């Protein structure tokens, strides 16, 4: 994979597990860059976190909204 040097890039180690066969899935992601670990009690929270990472990166790429002048 060839990623441009000016691109936003996130790399995570994803872990998924169940504490019992009847339990819901739990997850954690560990940032490869910072080593920070974030834990999630359900997959929906994991998806929301990943979605937010993309949204923040997109807003940073585009920049702040500027009002249209009449």
Residue 35 covered by a domain? yes
Residue 6 covered by a domain? no
What is residue 31's predicted lDDT score, i.e. its pLDDT?
A: 93
Residue 67 covered by a domain? no
Domain count, the chain: 1
Task: Tell me how far apart the alpha carbons of residues 38 and 45 are, in angstroms, rounded to a whole number.
Answer: 11
The encoded tokens of residue 2 equal 């060839």
DSSP, collapsed to helix, strand or coil, labels residue 17 as strand
Task: Tell me how far apart the alpha carbons of residues 42 and 49 are, in angstroms, rounded to a whole number.
Answer: 11
The encoded tokens of residue 54 equal 């993309």
Task: Tell me how far apart the alpha carbons of residues 47 and 45 are, in angstroms, rounded to a whole number.
Answer: 5
Q: pTM for this structure?
A: 0.70
The residue range of the domain holding 27 is 12-61
- Per residue in 11-45, pLDDT (tens digit) is 999 999 999 999 999 999 999 989 999 999 999 99
């Amino acid at each position: 994979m060839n990623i441009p040097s000016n691109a936003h890039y996130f790399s995570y180690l994803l872990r998924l597990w169940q504490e019992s066969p009847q339990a819901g899935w739990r997850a954690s992601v560990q940032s490869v860059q910072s080593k920070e670990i974030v834990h999630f009690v359900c997959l929906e929270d994991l998806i929301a976190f990943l979605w937010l990472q993309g949204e923040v990166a997109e807003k940073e790429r585009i920049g702040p909204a500027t009002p249209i002048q009449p």
